[in-house]
Amino acid sequence: MSAPAAELQNVSLRLGGISVLEEVSLRIEAGDYLALLGPNGGGKSTLLKVLLGLLTPDEGSVRVFGQSPRAARGRVGYVPQSFRFDRDFPIRVLDVVLMGRVGKLKRGTVADADREIARAALARVEMAELGTRPIGALSGGQLQRVWIARALAQQPELLLLDEPTSSLDERVERSVWELFAELSQEMAVVVVSHDIGAISRHVRGVACLNRRLHSHPTRELTSEMLEATYGCPVDLLAHGHPHRVLHAHDES
């Protein structure tokens, strides 16, 4: 039996004196495709940062591929939700994607193989022809796809995506969800979202996080689970297929 992709046991974390995670336990298997839901400030991004070794929990243990998160970094891909990004930075799209390779370069040099990996990653997000564009000339949706390509260039075995579809239009969003489903055949995938309506029918597991984690082995969402997470009653509609989930306020 190989080690799970990631395992958290009773993880608690306080940031600036405020409790963000409380006794969170979660096991992500190598083939999992997990949606992590929850309200803003529920600790979703924090949980990803714990898995990445960017934050160290106050209590509990974290293992990624059986190692410490820092030791496992080469195997984990990351798409941040948003970060301080400077549109004036003089760099081309392909060179941004190549940053996914930066920890694995031999003597600091980008090899042809690295370039091939980066080009393939760009092609997978349907941006193959934009590699030579300055990064500052891209739209918000194109940028988000560049961050996804950059994570793919890491050639991860576990891919962590933090709100990866928030600035995509509907058509692109659909194709990106298809891409995630495809990727989940090759690696473990965890998608964070605050929007329960955005969860694709492809997701194979759902966990709800609001400081505490309420996970569910299948992709079935129960209203108890959502209520426990969001702290208010939520109706589930069209449960079954195609697994669309809507807020109570949207209907009836």
Partner 1 sequence: MLEALTEPFFQRVLLAGLLASVAAGVIGTYVVVRRIASLAGGLSHAAFGGVGLGYWAGFPPIAGAAGFALVASLVVGLAERRVRSGLDTLVALVWSVGMALGIVFVALAPGYTPDLTSYLFGSLLFVPWEYVAVAAAVDAVIVAAVLRYHRVFEAVCFDEEFAEVAGVPAERVFLGLLALAALAIVTLIRVVGVILAIALLTIPPAAARPWVSSLGAMMAASTAICAASTLGGLLLSWSLAEHAGLSIPPGPLIILLAAAGYAASHVVAALRGSGGPASRPS
Which residue's CB is nearer to partner 1, number 111 or number 228?
A: 111
> Which residue in the set 11, 24, 52, 189 belongs to the binding site for partner 1 (CB under 8 A)?
52
- Find the part of the chain contacting partner 1 (CB under 8 A) among 3-11, 58-66, 74-82, 212-220: 74-82
> Which residue in the set 23, 25, 60, 73 belongs to the binding site for partner 1 (CB under 8 A)?
73
Cβ burial, residue 67 (10 Å; 0-12/13-18/19+): middle
Count Cα neighbours of 208 within 13 Å in the Cβ-side half-sphere. Answer: 19
> Which residue in the set 106, 107, 171, 241 belongs to the binding site for partner 1 (CB under 8 A)?
107
Question: Counting contacts by CB under 8 A, is residue 74 touching partner 1?
Answer: yes
Which residue's CB is nearer to partner 1, number 91 or number 228?
A: 91
Distance, CA of 161 to CA of 78 (rounded, Å)? 6
Count Cα neighbours of 243 within 13 Å in the Cβ-side half-sphere. Answer: 15
The encoded tokens of residue 109 equal: 């040099």
Torsion sign over Cα 51, 54, 55, 57: positive
Least separation in angstroms between CB 87 and partner 1: 6
The encoded tokens of residue 132 equal: 């030579």
Q: Note whether 121 and 100 are within 8 A (CB).
A: yes
- Find the part of the chain contacting partner 1 (CB under 8 A) among 57-65, 86-94, 117-125, 184-192: 86-94
Which residue's CB is nearer to partner 1, number 154 or number 229?
A: 154
Spacing of C-alpha 32 from chain mean position: 13
Binding site for partner 1 (CB under 8 A): 52, 54, 73-74, 76, 78, 80, 83, 85-92, 95-96, 98-105, 107-110, 134, 136-139, 150, 154
